[in-house]
Amino acid sequence: MVPTMGALHQGHASLFEVAHQLADVVVATIFVNPLQFNNSSDFKKYPLQLDRDVQLLEEHGVHYLYAPTVDTMYGSDFSTSVHIEGITDLLEGASRPGHFSGVATVVTKLFSAGRPDIAVFGQKDFQQFAVIQRMVSDLDMPIRLIMAPTIRERDGLAMSSRNVRLSTAARQQALAISQGLLAAQAQFASGIRESQQLIEAVESVISLTSAEIDYVKLVDAKTLQDTTSASEGSVIVVAVILDGIRLIDNHILV
């Protein structure tokens, strides 16, 4: 299973390719989940293009599509929520209260409906993967989770369904995110391990744009807690608001 919110692009296509390598049958889900939006206008602006999405699914050999309506997923008497403590209070969870309860609830329902052996997610939503990993472990769900690498545009911008909402100028400025992450990787490769120096390497690039930085942090890959010293496998996570649009990215230090 490859759970998505639609507005599919080549980043999603890469997830389908990974799924084909691991399983005989690949199911995609498309559902724009209102529970994970803490901003109603953001939910209303989320791009919907089901016909194009179906075409991409067919092109990439996806066998089945599950695309329920909101009423199907959450009836008028729906009253259940899945909450994972601790890891959901950080980063995106701190900035978007209730977001990960919405994610955990919908993914639990999708897993229950589809009963997948394997589920594939993208690295771009690194914290989301960590949250789902914790949920699957805690609830003894017999599902193997796979995190596939982030797919980027040729200029380095992480592919996202939100990118289409960026103005031409903002789209150009958004490149500072990946450029900042590469600057931090270069410093790490040169021997720098102090987290603040690596964080400042990212911030110094982004600060040259009009982007509002929500956070730039160096965290442990499993706990997502801040770490003062970097090592291979540590993750730099970034969230900015540009042109009124929230963009996230991350880089695993190597």
Catalytic residues: 12
d(CA 234, CA 253): 6
User: What is the four-CA torsion angle of 146, 183, 253, 165, rounded to 10 degrees?
Assistant: -20
Contact predicate 6/48, CB 8 Å? yes
**Tokens 């390497």 identify what position?**
201
Residues paired with 252 in a beta bridge:
235
* Tokens describing residue 205: 């690039």
The separation between the first and the last C-alpha atoms of the chain, rounded to the nearest angstrom, is: 29
* Tokens describing residue 153: 């545009």
Residue 206's alpha-carbon distances to 63, 131, 138, 212, in angstroms, are 41, 27, 37, 9
Q: Which residues contact 19 (CB under 8 A, 6 or more apart)?
A: 1, 2, 26, 118, 120
d(CA 145, CA 158): 21
Which SS3 state, helix, strand or coil, does residue 153 take?
coil
d(CA 251, CA 188): 12
